[in-house]
Each structure stands twice: as C-alpha cells, then as structure tokens.
C-alpha cells in the first residue's frame, strides 16, 4: 500500500505527463530546437599564455567621433605623452607617475621629434614643448585652424590643415603656405629639398596625384597623376607604384622612378609574375609593392612574389610565398625577421622566407582587431578586448592582457614597457623578457 503522501506525488506526476502529451510538448525540450544555434560555444584554454594585470592604466583624449582604432599618444626618453581633457600630460613609462603637464584646450594630433612634443590649440596655434621638462619652447606666429597632421625634419615643422604650412623649427615663425585650391590633409613625405603630398582628385573621374613643393618657398615644382605615396623618396630618386584611372588602366603592377628635380618619369619596371597577356586581360592584376632589404615584394592578396631589387623581372623567376590549402589567408605584414605574415581575420600564420616553411601562431581566440610587430614579439589585439603577446620564434603566446576595448591604435615600446592605445585609455605592461631584442 502507498502512503497518502506518496500516492499524491505519483498522481501529480501522472497528471503532468498527461498534460504534456496532450499539448504535444516534449518534456525533454526546455526551448524549441528551432530557436537555437550552437556554434563555437566553448572556451579555448590551450596555449593562451599567462593572464596578467597592467602596471598602470590612464584615461586619454581621442579624436572626437572616432569609432575606429586611432593613435593619440607619443613616447620618448622614458615618457609617454597624451592629452587628458585638453591638457598635455607626460607619464613616466615604467610607473605611470605624472612627470609634468602643459597647457589647456589642446587638440590632437601629437607629434614628437628630437626631444620636442608638437601640439596645437583649438584655435590652431602650434606649440613646441620640451619633452623632458614640459616647458614651452615656442608658440607659432600664426594659427593653423583644423590642423590634421604634423611632421618635422631639416629645420622645419610642416602641418596640413587643408593647406600645407611650414614653420621654423627653432622659433615657430611661419615660413610659407601653399596657395593651392585643393585640400591638403596629409600625410607628407619629406626629402631634403621637397615636400611630397599624395592626394585623390575628383572631377569627371577620380585619380591619384602626387605633388612636389619646394621646401624653402612652398612653390609647387611638379605633379604626377596616377601616383600615390612614394615607396622611396630622396633627392636622387622617387620610387612610386603607378595606379589606374577610369580612362587609363594599369593592368600590370608597375614601379616608376621619378626625377625629383623635373618630376619626369625616368624609369618604369613592369612586373608580370603570372605571365599574363596584357592585350587580352579584362581587368588589372591587383597588387601592391613592399620594398625591403634590397628586394621587391609584390603583394597579390593570397600570394607574395619576391624579386631582387635590381633584377629585370621579365628575366627573373620570383620566389613565391602562399599558404597552401588556406585560400582565405591573405598577406598581412612583413617581411619582418625573415617572415611574411598572413591572416584570415582571426588566425595568423607566417612563412619563413629562407625555406618557405609555415608557422601557425597560438593563443588567438577571437577576431583580430590588429597586430603589430615589435622586437621578437607580435602584439595581437582582439575584438574581445584581449591583447596577446606572441613569440615570433616559438609561435607561442607568452602573456595576455584584458583591456575592455574593441578598437586599438599602434602600441608603443618605451623603456621596456608596452603601451597599449586602447579606446580612450593607455594601458601599460612590461615587455616579456623572451620578446626583447
């Protein structure tokens, strides 16, 4: 005989089971199977490296309305420089202690050169500040509202703000301003005698154009359409790849050498690694150039072709690098320490140029926001906020740091510290010993 209590429980279970069967609901389903998807629903733990805490963390101003990763800090001589609520602040790189502050109402960008930090006020006046003491060296003689880039070399500070302006690097006196109607937004490329500016012109159609200005006077010396930022620029030669327009298509990758004095093309080299027939090509063979250590690397998406710089490509068989069986991996960086790096947006692999062998890097668990190569390390920033320090030699993750950000600028290396430019904050940690040069 069942007790009254047990009899009641059995009766309740029986009734509930009957209700479920009558309504067509299977008791095994908490949620309809058509309302769920199970994908990479697991936690990766292999090869992630040790999770560390930052040595210090500081808030920082970023460009207004910025939704992408951007650079907003600079470093020099053991200090890191950043704007905080419009005030230029210098932090000791190792400790994060404030060394000095300067000014108010200042705006990005920052630029440092030879122990001087250059920054502008909201109304466009440019300031030169001693990086060691925070003392003002000069204030520019004329404002440049809307300043978007700063660079300095050979006794001049040059800015863009829709125009190009040159200031004396010792006094801040305005030397010249271009008188062009087209917008100059930078960046600029400098030689001893020229200022080179690449831009895009729009009219009946859009095309690239490279202009050269005299460093002393600011007068335009020449211009070359179908050319962009130079790969090599000095007062002997300017080497730049040729681009296309709607009316003139560059079907095969071409490097032009321009005479800096006249702006005329004095040499053209065409690269055709796949032996294509230019006359029957319906579209251009898309590629870009990287010049490094006396070699020309032709980047064609999933493949990289390597030529000796002085070789005739028509008579030279190139070395070819690609990840076999990984068609979604495309060139990402290099050559660096004898490696070309490829990525599919999440994983990263490298090919050794010495023997064409492949390395796959560990510790990458989420989509890659960016990665940067410093000394012997790859510092990979993920969209889940982690920055992973990976050994380029062993391919193993050394350490990982949670930043809480989804976007990142270029990490800085200063006094043995890695300074992460996450959105609105600087985060510092020690460079792993194994990754030092």
* For the chain, domain boundaries: 279-360, 371-437
The phi-psi region of residue 389 (left if phi > 0; otherwise alpha if psi is between -120 and 50; otherwise beta) is beta
Same fold, 279-360 and 371-437: yes
Domain spanning 279-360: CATH 1.20.272: no
pLDDT, one tens digit per residue, over 66-111 is 777 889 999 999 999 999 999 999 999 999 999 999 999 999 999 9
Q: Are 289 and 247 in contact (CB under 8 A)?
A: no
CB 171 within 8 A of CB 140: no
User: Cα dist. 371→149, 331, 342, 365, 408 in Å?
Assistant: 24, 13, 11, 14, 10
Rounded distance, CA 119 to CA 109, Å? 7
The pLDDT tens digits of the residues spanning 268-319 come to: 999 999 999 988 888 889 899 999 999 999 999 899 999 999 999 999 999 9
What gap in Å lies between CA 273 and CA 317, rounded to an integer?
8
d(CA 321, CA 299): 10
Burial of 84 (0-12, 13-18, 19+ CB in 10 A): middle
Q: Angle at CA 231, nearest 5°, toward 225 and 232?
A: 105
What fold is seen in the domain 371-437?
A: Thrombin, subunit H (2.40.10)
The DSSP result for 373-421, as a single string, is EETTEEEEEETTSEEEEEETTT--EEEEEE---S-B-PPEEETTEEEEE
**Strand partners of residue 425:** 59, 422
Pick the closest to residue 311 from 327, 297, 326, 330 (CA basis). 297
Residue 4 — pLDDT band, cuts 50, 70, 90?
very low
pLDDT of residue 86: 96
* Structure-token match 């831009």, residue found: 199
Phi and psi angles of residue 316, each rounded to the nearest 5 degrees, phi first: -120, 130
Q: Which residues of 247-262 are buried (b: 16+ CB within 10 A; e: fewer)?
A: eeebbbbbbbbbebee
Name the average pLDDT for the chain.
89
Q: Is the pLDDT of residue 324 over 70?
A: yes
Above 80 in pLDDT, residue 325? no
């Amino acid at each position: 005989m069942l007790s009254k209590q047990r009899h009641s429980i059995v009766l309740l279970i029986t009734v509930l089971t009957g209700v479920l069967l009558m309504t067509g609901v299977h008791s095994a389903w908490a949620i309809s199977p058509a309302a769920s998807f199970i994908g990479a629903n697991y936690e990766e733990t292999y090869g992630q490296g040790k999770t560390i805490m930052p040595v210090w963390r500081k808030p920082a101003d970023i460009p207004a309305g910025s939704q992408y990763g951007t650079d907003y800090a600079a470093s020099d001589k053991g200090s890191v420089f950043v704007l905080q609520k419009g005030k230029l602040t210098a932090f000791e790189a190792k400790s994060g202690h404030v060394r000095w502050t300067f000014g108010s109402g200042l705006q990005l960008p920052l630029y440092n050169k030879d122990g001087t930090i250059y920054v502008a006020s909201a109304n466009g006046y440019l300031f030169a500040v001693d990086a060691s003491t925070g003392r003002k060296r000069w204030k520019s003689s004329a404002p440049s509202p809307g300043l978007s880039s700063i660079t300095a070399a050979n006794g001049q500070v040059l800015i863009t703000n829709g125009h190009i302006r040159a200031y004396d690097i010792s006094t801040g006196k305005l030397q010249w301003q271009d008188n062009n109607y087209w917008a100059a937004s930078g960046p600029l490329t400098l030689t001893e005698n020229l200022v080179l500016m690449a831009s895009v012109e729009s009219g009946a159609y859009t095309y690239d154009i490279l202009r050269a200005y005299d460093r002393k006077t600011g007068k335009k010396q020449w211009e070359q359409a179908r050319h962009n930022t130079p790969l090599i620029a000095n007062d002997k030669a300017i080497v730049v790849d040729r681009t296309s327009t709607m009316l003139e298509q560059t079907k095969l990758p071409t490097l032009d050498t321009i005479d800096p004095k006249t702006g005329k093309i004095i040499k053209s080299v065409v690269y055709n690694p796949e032996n294509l027939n230019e006359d029957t090509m319906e579209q251009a063979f898309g590629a870009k150039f990287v010049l490094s250590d006396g070699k020309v690397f032709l980047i064609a998406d999933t493949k990289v072709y390597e030529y000796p710089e002085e070789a005739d490509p028509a008579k030279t068989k190139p070395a070819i690098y690609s990840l076999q069986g990984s068609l979604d991996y495309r060139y990402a960086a290099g050559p660096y320490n004898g490696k070309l790096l490829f990525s599919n947006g999440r994983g990263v692999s490298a090919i050794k140029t010495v023997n064409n062998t492949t390395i796959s890097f560990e510790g990458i668990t989420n989509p890659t926001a960016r990665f940067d190569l410093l000394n012997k390390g790859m510092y990979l920033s993920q969209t889940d906020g982690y920055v992973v320090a990976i050994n380029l030699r062993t391919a193993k993750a050394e350490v990982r740091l949670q930043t809480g950000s989804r976007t990142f600028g270029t990490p800085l290396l200063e006094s043995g510290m890695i300074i992460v430019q996450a959105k609105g904050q600087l985060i510092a940690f020690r460079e792993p010993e194994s990754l030092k040069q």
